[in-house]
Structure 1
C-alpha cells in the first residue's frame, strides 16, 4: 500500500533534483530515501526515475505519477489541518521568504498577514521556495520576481537596484561613478544569499576583475557590517544599506530586483482563503509602496 512517506519522498526527489539534497530536505538518510523510492516503484509497477551521475530525471511513468502525487500531498495536508481548524479562527498560512528580504519590510508583511492568518515562516532560496509552492509545501512566498512575471497568483510589491557598497571612509566613496577595472585591487565580500551572485561574478570576470575575498557569508548583516568596518566591499540591494556604508555607481553594473509574493493557487481556492486575501493583499501593496517611498526619501 502506498503511504504518505512514499509520496513525500517522491516529491522531495522531484523538487530537489537529487537524492542527496532530497534526503537533507526531508531529514532522512540517503539509503532510507533510496529504499523508499524503490518500494514505491515496486508498488506502482514501474520505474519512476532515470538515474545517472549528472542528474535525476522522471521516466514517462514518473511524469504521469507526478500530478497524482501532488494532489495526494495536498489532500494529506488538508486532512492534517482539518482537525485543527476548530482550534483557531484563523486559517494556517505557511509563508516562505528569501533570506535577503529586508528585515523591516518582512516585518511589515508578516504583521499584516498575521491579522488574517496563523503564520508559520520558513527561509530558503528562490528556487527552493518556488519548488515548495509548486509542491504544496508552502502557501505563499516572498521572492524575487522574474522579468515579466505577471499572473493572478503573483503579487508585485516593490523594485530596487543592486548597488556596490563601500565603507563611508573608503577612497571611492566620494566618486560619482567608477569603472569596473578600478575595483581590481579591492577586497570583496560575498553575500551568499545574493540572487545575482553568479551574474556579478561573470560581470567582473568580463572586465578582468578577479578580487581577493575576505568573507563569504549567508548573513547579509555581517557582510554589510564588515563593509562598514573597512574589511572589504560588496554588492547588495539598496534596501539592505546600514549606517557606515555608502553606495557607489559601477559603470555597466545595472542589476535590479523586484520582490513580490507567489501564492499557491490550490491553497487560494480553499474555502474562506480568497476572502481573507481580498483584505490582506491591498493592504500589503499599500504598505510596500509606502515603504519603498520612505526608502527613496531617506
Structure 2
C-alpha cells in the first residue's frame, strides 16, 4: 500500500516530541493527553513505515528514520512561521536566527562586523556565525547559509553569489624590511612560512608550499586563523591569503610581498539549500553578504 503524504499537523507533533525529548513533556507543551499524542505518533510511524522514536525508561530518542525526518520537519516549522508573519503581520520586522557557516577569516572579517549592521536594521534578527574549516551539511539544516571555498556539487544547493581573488603572500613591515631589497627576486625557500597545524595540515596552502619547497618546514603553524594572523603581525613569518581587502580587513598593517606564487586564485561561494533560500530572514542576511561581496569586488584583481 502506498504511503500517504505526511501532514504538517502530524509533523508538528513529531517535532515537539523530538525537541522536548519525551512524550510527557511534549504533551504538556501541546496541551494534549499523552495517550492521544502517543496514538498520533504511532499512526505517523505506521505511515512512514518505520519507528521514529525509541522509547526509554526516561524519555525517548530518535531512531535513524527520525533523524532523517528531523531537518525537514524543522524547515517546515520555519516556513510555517514565516507564512504566519507574512500573512497576519505583514509590516512586522524580521525575527529569528540565521546561522552562517564560514571559514575563520570570513567569519572574523565579514560576519562579525555584519552583526552590528543587522542589529541596526533588524533588531529581532540574530546572526550566528559558525566559524570553522569543516564543511557543514546544509541539507541536514546544520546552517542556513554557508561561505565556502569550493563550488558545491550537491544540486540542491544554490550559489547565491561568488568571488574570485588573487592569492598572495603577506608579512609585517618589520619582517619585509629584513628581506633582500628589489630587484633581487624572493625565493619561496628563503621565507619563513606560517601554515595550518593538525588537524588541518592537509589544507591547500600547506600542500602547495610542501610541493614547491624541497624539505619544507614551516616556521610556525597553528590550527587557529587568528593565531596565524597574530604571528604574522609579530614578524614570525609569511602568511598566504586571498587579496580580498574588506573594509574590516585584518590585513591592514601587513604588506604584500613580491613572491612567485603563480596564478593561483581563491574562490568564495555564498551557498544556501533550496529549502532555505526563500525564507525572508535568510534572504535578508544573504543580501547583506552580497552587498559586502560587491564592495570586495572593488579590490584590484577581485571579480
With normalisation by structure 1, the TM-score equals 0.58
Q: Which of the numbers 230, 247, 256 marks the counterpart of 1:247?
A: 256
Q: Which residue number corresponds to residue 10 of structure 2?
A: none
The aligned runs of 1:151-166 (5 Å cut-off) are 153-166=158-171
1:258 and 1:176 map into 2 onto residues whose CA distance is 31
Q: Which residue number corresponds to residue 148 of structure 2?
A: 143
Matched, 1:260 2:258: no
Identify, as 1 or 2, the structure richer in helix.
Answer: 1
Matched, 1:121 2:128: yes
Q: Any gaps of 5 or more consecutive residues in structure 2?
A: 1-13, 22-49, 53-63
1:105·1:291 contact (CA, 8 Å) conserved in 2? no
Shift of 1:151: 8.5
1:228·1:243 contact (CA, 8 Å) conserved in 2? no
1:176 and 1:241 map into 2 onto residues whose CA distance is 29
Shift of 1:98: 1.9
Q: What secondary structure is seen at the aligned counterpart in 2 of 1:210?
A: coil
Q: Any gaps of 5 or more consecutive residues in structure 1?
A: 8-41, 45-61
Aligned-pair Cα RMSD in Å = 4.6
Higher CA-based Rg: 2
1:199-250 deviation line (CA, Å, top 9, x unaligned) = 3333333334334334322443432332232222221222356344322243
Q: Which residue number corresponds to residue 75 of structure 1?
A: 73
1:226·1:232 contact (CA, 8 Å) conserved in 2? yes
1:204·1:210 contact (CA, 8 Å) conserved in 2? no
User: How many equivalent pairs are there?
Assistant: 234
Q: Which residue number corresponds to residue 290 of structure 1?
A: 295
* Cα separation, partners in 2 of 1:150 and 1:238, compared to 1, 3 Å: farther
Shift of 1:102: 6.3
1:155 and 1:95 map into 2 onto residues whose CA distance is 13
1:183·1:209 contact (CA, 8 Å) conserved in 2? no
Q: Which residue number corresponds to residue 90 of structure 1?
A: 94
2:107·2:131 contact (CA, 8 Å) conserved in 1? no
1:138·1:264 contact (CA, 8 Å) conserved in 2? no
Q: What secondary structure is seen at the aligned counterpart in 1 of 2:94?
A: coil
Q: Which residue number corresponds to residue 4 of structure 1?
A: 18
Shift of 1:123: 1.9
1:173·1:248 contact (CA, 8 Å) conserved in 2? no
Q: What secondary structure is seen at the aligned counterpart in 2 of 1:250?
A: coil
Q: What secondary structure is seen at the aligned counterpart in 2 of 1:263?
A: strand
1:172 and 1:98 map into 2 onto residues whose CA distance is 31
Q: Which residue number corresponds to residue 56 of structure 1?
A: none
The aligned runs of 1:205-216 (5 Å cut-off) are 205-216=210-221
1:233 and 1:248 map into 2 onto residues whose CA distance is 9
Matched, 1:189 2:203: no
1:178 and 1:151 map into 2 onto residues whose CA distance is 47
With normalisation by structure 2, the TM-score equals 0.57
